Structure 1
Amino acid sequence: MKTQIDSHDCRDDDIDAVIEACLEKLVQRASVQQPAELRNLLPNVDSDLRHFVLVELIKLDMAMAADAGTLHCIEHYVDAMPDLLSMETVPLDLLMEEIQLRKDFGETPSHDEYLLRFPQYEALLDQMLTRIEATRSVAKCGLPPEISVGRQVDDFLVLAKLGQGAIAHVYLARQISMHRLVALKVSHGSGDESQALAQFDHPNIVRVFDQRTVAEQALHLLYMQYHPGGTLADVVQMVRQCDSSDRCSRLLLDSVDQNLLRAAQVVPDRSAVRQWIETAPWSTVVAWMGVQLAKALDEAHACGVLHRDVKPANVLLSAECIPQLADFNVSFAGAAGRAGAAASFGGSIAYMAPEHLRAISSKLLDEPEKVQEPADLYSLAVTLWELWQGERPFACDAIAGSWSDAVSIQLAARAQPLKEPQRSETASERVLEKVLRKALSLDPEDRFVDGAEMAGRLRLSLHPETATLFDPPEKSVAMTLSKWSPWIVTCVILLLPNMIGGCLNFQYNYHHVMTTPETKEGLGVVSWIVNLTFFPFAAGVAIWYARRIVRAVDSVRRGARVDPSDLSETLELGHRAALIGGTLWLIAGVLFPLVLSGIFPDFSMTQAVHLFMSSLICGGVAMIYPYFGMALMATLVFYPRCLSGTMQDPQFDQRADQILHRSEWYLLIAAIIPLLGAALLISTEGASQLFALAALAAGIVGLLASFFAYRFIVNTWKQMDAVLSKRTSMVPGELTAAS
């Protein structure tokens, strides 16, 4: 019966499903008696897509016939279907398939023979013959015979077939000795997959238990953790079928529950993770998935292992919806995983990074390009975007006529602007979109440095209040302050309180402490000398330390990582300025009485005490205002801005403890200032009491301002603790997954 798939139903997102359905039909028939029978398996779609599907069917039929001991050449199919395929339109990947199968049969295909048959590929024949020789070992062992359900192999009772790939079958099996369900991969050759996977002990990477060899049947058995919750591909399918307004976390739970019921597994009824998922917005759930998968990739990359095929079908789900990254090569993909010689290059082109697609082409054009860790992060971003939106972030309107054409079309699509997503303007969704866009950068250098960095940025999306801090709205106070020059902000906060304090201190001592014209004149002269010495020094220190803030902000603007020492100095500046300002005021408080008492014999001890206490009050003001001012700017603007790109700070816990501890001490200093003002009020008489009263009022206002600043700093750093702290995990399900 002919496979009926209407053309209007065949979107870009459905092409993989169309091909897989056709290939599965062919697998069920176990090859065809006459090549013309392949017509009956073609879908009712666009002619270019029909050509693409026909080529894939021919490749699979050639491979199955070769497994049965018969080698079919391309002309075998061209002669039977001249209206659908000609020697001039034979794609390059079909040519590669025939060459590989002939070499597996022990033949030696010659350049002259293929030049005569396919003159259009004259420039590529030598390269193809060389490349095929280098890659033929991948599929040399072939696919082992299928094991029937109910049969026991070694220690395993086969319960159901889960999938099939180019070199292996994957089954649901019961390990008899351990009384547990496992996913059993059966192949002829061991390869290095078991060693690569067995080294991981990560809650979001499928766990490999062990491997065995059945010598008499030449079978290699790799058995691993089985998850009955299905894959992210099942969830994506549900997302595609609903309107954007209906996308919610219930889709994930429903998909997992349906798969649990099919596998006769119990649906958890008391799960904190599932309860959290049910109440979380859809974009937050997508980010939650991304955090765990990005950390899994970071673990793999740290061990020198690249995944190369991150896609929804390769993300398994536990009963509690915990994602686990699988890398079976076949990954439960069905017969579509067996795409012929071209598939030996690995990966699924719809999710590949541009450099991965170019690397596939370079295997034909002899221009190899190295595919590194950022390619996996790109594929993860495509996967998350599709989960979020129900479609991939780029449009591929053209229909490929061959596998190599499909690679070219996908590569061209990567260079186009990303689709505009359907979104709300919540902070969580803004963060999610920015993260995915960065991970989908065309240039690998513009993506995240590693999976940990991407996970940290996605983690921010789980906490909307904190997300607003690191990604403030355009018209917010934080965004407005972030646009101001760091030089101006820093100098105003550090120097203005000292200048105001200096003016008030001089006016108080000049009018209310100095009693003679001579002492007033002496105070003026000494004040000029001290101010012309201390203020330029303080300004120079402020500029010297402020340069680190400017450098940190400039790094953020350039998209570079902020130097940890610059980040430390940004948080230290308020404390340094307070210490320097307080020290200078203390020196001035001692220096003024000593100098004036040495110059004027009638300068009394009472005047000296007033001069010293007024300096202490002004010095305290000059400490608390710069400290809390810079602490507020660092907490609200500078620190979030410096970390907004990476969300990585290994010293966060130490920094948080330090700034909170210091803020407590400066709050204490702020409380002492009104007491000094009260003491000054008690010890003064007459008109000077007005100034002392003003100092007392200013001290009380300063205390209240310091208290509110302290509370804001404490609350904000607690918010950041949920995202950046290493002491506690705030990602739902992490502990559950690990246990």
Structure 2
Amino acid sequence: MSGNPMHAVARFAADWESTLRGDRPEPPPLDRYVPDGRDARLAVLTDLVRVDMRQRWRRAGMEKRIAEYRTEFPEVATSPDFVDLVCEEYVVRSRYRVIDVDAFAVEYPEVAGELRARFAAGDDARRTPPPSLPEGIGTGRRLDDFDLLTDLGGGAHSRMFLARQRSMQRLVAVRVEAGADSDAPTVAQLDHQYIVRVFDQRLIADGSTGKPLRLLYMQYLPGGTAADVLAQRRAQPGPASIAVLGGRLLLRAVDAAMEARGEIRPADSRVRAEIAELSWPETVAWVGRRLAEALEYAERHGVLHHDIRPGNVVFTAEGVPKLADFALGPLSWAGGRPTGRAEDPEALRYRSPEALAVMLDPTAPLPGARGDLYSLGVLLWEMLTGTAPFEDSAGDSGPATVADMLARRRAGVSAAALATLPAETPAALRRVLLECLHPDPDRRWQRGAELAGQLDLCLDPRARDLVDPPRKSLRARMRGWPVPIAVVCVGLPNALASVYNIRLNQSLIVDRLAAADQERFATVALVNNAITFPLAAALLLWLARRPLAVSYRLAHGRHYTAAELARARADTLLMGERAVWIPFAMWLLAGVAWPVALSRSGAALPPNAFGYFFTAQVVCAAIALAYPFFLVTVYALRSLYPQLLARGAVGPDDRRQLLALSRRSNFYLAAAASVPLLGVATATFVAPADLELVIGTVRWLSVGGVLAFALTYQLSRLLEADLRALARAIPQSTTT
């Protein structure tokens, strides 16, 4: 690479951020950013390795070690900073798993002495439990710039307080922790509308004990937590009460929390009015969609949560949820077992199977972003039903309890738990939550953006009914017969066009031919149909192969990558157009090929036969263009496309495709309106003496065309409403 080496690291870091945002499919290749020139190359390469290693170790499955960089770039071993790079690898890895410094040093014998000198004492410290807060940390006390006003809960290692920050004269939430290790600088960079804003941290010494304390102060939200919402949900006398209250149940919990803190409920809030109109399942989806957006944003900035539970979901006065306590971060997994508050048995109920597995086996794979989505699914299920999806036995956080919880989660959601879902729960929300709670991380939603999109879909009645129709409905049953239905949708209008064509040609051309020429006409027709019909059918099946095959295989348990599903969705939306343009072209081609073939076969055709034949073919082509489009497209959109949409990984491209199809459908509606007009227009080309022969056929075409247009118009309105509903349920842009 040539260019200014000063900019290489900055561009590399920016491209990593682009990868996290989803703008790039893969991490940036490091070798493309290394400058030319030995001295500049080595200095910049060292910084590039640091950036790359830090980013990769934050993401499960992408980890990379200094030994690997050394193999790829041998000059790394000659860098003056090589020891520092190896030490940084040790620090990064030890944040995620206990590492014995002696075992690690064996991997780098050339710097083993330096490693032991730097980390021997620290390694023992990592094996000790986190320190507890000193006695006397409570309300009424002043710590540094903060007056602690209200105890908001916590554990032995840390507690949360409502506090007044004297220097700024504002209310903040302060978490007081024993010790000084944290990811606060990273978490403080998170600035998202659904994440509690962390302002900064301060490290102080307790005045009575001299022990270090960390004060992490953040945005204060008065609307309580999801634990308050759960308490309100469980306090309702029965399902009827939940159904009547709907979103007002959430507002009731928020108002109760605000009243307890002496806060005043906001007036004329658009958000509160929106929540009040939602059903309870829709309210749960509304809350979940925002929390999923928060997780997506944090993951793209290299931060996972690892401790999603009711106490870490807080609400504004308007009822908007925000995710708190990202500061726990990857440190919660140091040594395999979560530390501090994460050892609370109550918090274990929200752990993913892979998180519980790490607690039992430190060598098990660490939980990634999909572990957070699992935890969010548990929380949303509990909000929806008032009960947890798994009947965990009471106990502590010992190995036996953890093993029992892990076994229950690997067994999946039981029939008894499914029975607790409210009767008004949309099938789409049921499906989305079960996908969150799948034991296999690869079978869950892969990113927060996917989950947010699916929950958005649950909020649109028309869209969710399209994607998850009742199991015994006609649309659900039609999903199993894509090929026969597509054949009927395409074949019936073309068959009717053939009837019109045969009757018109018989009256104007065939009946006037000599017997030998009529035999030639029949032979040409047979040869033409034997070629064109199979060819058209083969082309149509080839172009529709992906939508038809993918929908069938999905129904039988096959899984596809996000790219394969995206291609199948695009092809499914094109099914209707592909189903009409091939027959359209065949009709027009036949309008030229048949008369030419007849002439070359020796048939004596009347001078006006070419005009009669071609105008009839034009009418048939218009029929083949207009009517099958709406039949095929409505079927594809209502029966095939929703199965692909339900698999997730949808985004702005899908929305643009839906809206583009909506615009293009107007052309086919105009084509349908033109059919009876074309039929009348073709009659003007018929000699006056021959009008009596065709007037009946033209009359039937006109009347049938008007009736067909009325049906087509209704299908176009249905198609338009479906396209708009699905487009509304797809994000307009990636989460920021």
Query: Is the Cα contact below 8 Å between 2:344 and 2:397 reproduced in 1?
Result: no
Which residue in the other structure is 1:603 paired with?
Answer: 605
Q: Partners of 1:234 and 1:478 in 2: how far apart? A: 41
* Structure 1 counterpart SS, 2:608: helix
Q: Structure 1 pair 505/482, CA: closer, same or farther in 2 (3 Å)?
A: same
| 1:163-562 alignment, distance < 5 Å | 163-214=153-204, 218-242=212-236, 243-247=238-242, 248=245, 249-327=247-325, 348-363=347-362, 367-396=363-392, 398-400=393-395, 403-416=398-411, 417-418=413-414, 419-426=417-424, 428-484=425-481, 486-514=482-510, 515-517=512-514, 518-557=516-555, 558=557, 560-561=559-560, 562=564
Query: Is the Cα contact below 8 Å between 2:304 and 2:326 reproduced in 1?
Result: no
Question: Aligned partner of 2:717: which letter?
Answer: R
The answer to whether the aligner puts 1:715 opposite 2:713 as a matched pair is no
Question: Aligned partner of 1:619: which letter?
Answer: A
| 1:555-634 alignment, distance < 5 Å | 555-557=553-555, 558=557, 560-561=559-560, 562-596=564-598, 603-634=605-636
Shift of 1:624: 1.6
* Structure 1 counterpart SS, 2:361: helix
Query: Is the Cα contact below 8 Å between 2:503 and 2:697 reproduced in 1?
Result: no
* Structure 1 counterpart SS, 2:202: strand
Question: Aligned partner of 1:451: which letter?
Answer: G
* Structure 2 counterpart SS, 1:160: strand
The answer to whether the aligner puts 1:686 opposite 2:675 as a matched pair is no
Which residue in the other structure is 1:8 paired with?
Answer: none
Higher alpha-carbon Rg: 1
Shift of 1:588: 1.3
Q: Structure 1 pair 662/593, CA: closer, same or farther in 2 (3 Å)?
A: same
Question: Aligned partner of 1:662: which letter?
Answer: R
Query: Is the Cα contact below 8 Å between 2:184 and 2:201 reproduced in 1?
Result: yes
Shift of 1:493: 2.7
Shift of 1:195: 2.4
CA displacement 1:511-568 (0-9 Å, x = unmatched): 3333122443332222222212211210110121121122321452225245322222
Which residue in the other structure is 1:105 paired with?
Answer: none
Shift of 1:716: 0.8
Q: Structure 1 pair 148/360, CA: closer, same or farther in 2 (3 Å)?
A: closer
Shift of 1:509: 0.5
Question: Aligned partner of 2:179: which letter?
Answer: G
Query: Is the Cα contact below 8 Å between 1:617 and 1:677 reproduced in 2?
Result: yes
Q: Partners of 1:274 and 1:513 in 2: how far apart? A: 73
CA displacement 1:224-250 (0-9 Å, x = unmatched): 111111111011112222223222333
Q: Partners of 2:603 and 2:558 in 1: how far apart? A: 64
Q: Structure 1 pair 344/634, CA: closer, same or farther in 2 (3 Å)?
A: closer
Question: Aligned partner of 2:221: which letter?
Answer: H
* Structure 2 counterpart SS, 1:676: helix
Query: Is the Cα contact below 8 Å between 2:540 and 2:582 reproduced in 1?
Result: no
Query: Is the Cα contact below 8 Å between 1:295 and 1:452 reproduced in 2?
Result: yes
* Structure 2 counterpart SS, 1:662: helix
Query: Is the Cα contact below 8 Å between 1:144 and 1:168 reproduced in 2?
Result: no
Query: Is the Cα contact below 8 Å between 2:655 and 2:732 reproduced in 1?
Result: yes
- In the superposition, the TM-score normalised over structure 1's length comes to 0.74
CA displacement 1:172-193 (0-9 Å, x = unmatched): 1222333321111233533233
Moved more, 698-707 or 398-407: 398-407
Q: Partners of 2:229 and 2:667 in 1: how far apart? A: 53
Q: Structure 1 pair 362/342, CA: closer, same or farther in 2 (3 Å)?
A: farther
Shift of 1:200: 1.5
| 1:91-130 alignment, distance < 5 Å | none
Question: Aligned partner of 1:225: which letter?
Answer: Q
Q: Partners of 2:670 and 2:181 in 1: how far apart? A: 67
Query: Is the Cα contact below 8 Å between 2:480 and 2:552 reproduced in 1?
Result: no
* Structure 1 counterpart SS, 2:691: coil
Q: Structure 1 pair 277/216, CA: closer, same or farther in 2 (3 Å)?
A: closer
RMSD of aligned residue pairs (Cα, Å): 3.0
User: Mind listing any 5+ residue stretches in structure 2 that lack a counterpart?
Assistant: 1-120, 330-336
Query: Is the Cα contact below 8 Å between 2:158 and 2:177 reproduced in 1?
Result: yes
Shift of 1:690: 1.0
How many residue pairs are counted as aligned between the two chains?
587
Moved more, 308-317 or 519-528: 519-528
Shift of 1:328: 6.3
Question: Aligned partner of 2:519: which letter?
Answer: E
Q: Structure 1 pair 412/384, CA: closer, same or farther in 2 (3 Å)?
A: same
Moved more, 408-417 or 304-313: 408-417
> Among the aligned pairs, what percent are the same residue?
33
Q: Structure 1 pair 728/410, CA: closer, same or farther in 2 (3 Å)?
A: closer
CA displacement 1:317-371 (0-9 Å, x = unmatched): 110111111116799xxxxxxx9978676882122122222211224xxx43422
Shift of 1:597: 5.1
Question: Aligned partner of 1:352: which letter?
Answer: R
Query: Is the Cα contact below 8 Å between 1:643 and 1:649 reproduced in 2?
Result: no
Q: Partners of 1:179 and 1:704 in 2: how far apart? A: 68
Question: Aligned partner of 1:575: which letter?
Answer: E
Q: Partners of 2:731 and 2:297 in 1: how far apart? A: 19
Q: Partners of 1:653 and 1:169 in 2: how far apart? A: 45
Q: Structure 1 pair 587/266, CA: closer, same or farther in 2 (3 Å)?
A: same
Query: Is the Cα contact below 8 Å between 1:144 and 1:186 reproduced in 2?
Result: no
* Structure 1 counterpart SS, 2:559: coil
For residue 705 of structure 2, the aligned residue among 692, 695, 699 is 699
Q: Partners of 2:429 and 2:145 in 1: how far apart? A: 45
- In the superposition, the TM-score normalised over structure 2's length comes to 0.74
CA displacement 1:674-713 (0-9 Å, x = unmatched): 1111123343511321112222223223322222221111
Question: Aligned partner of 1:549: which letter?
Answer: P
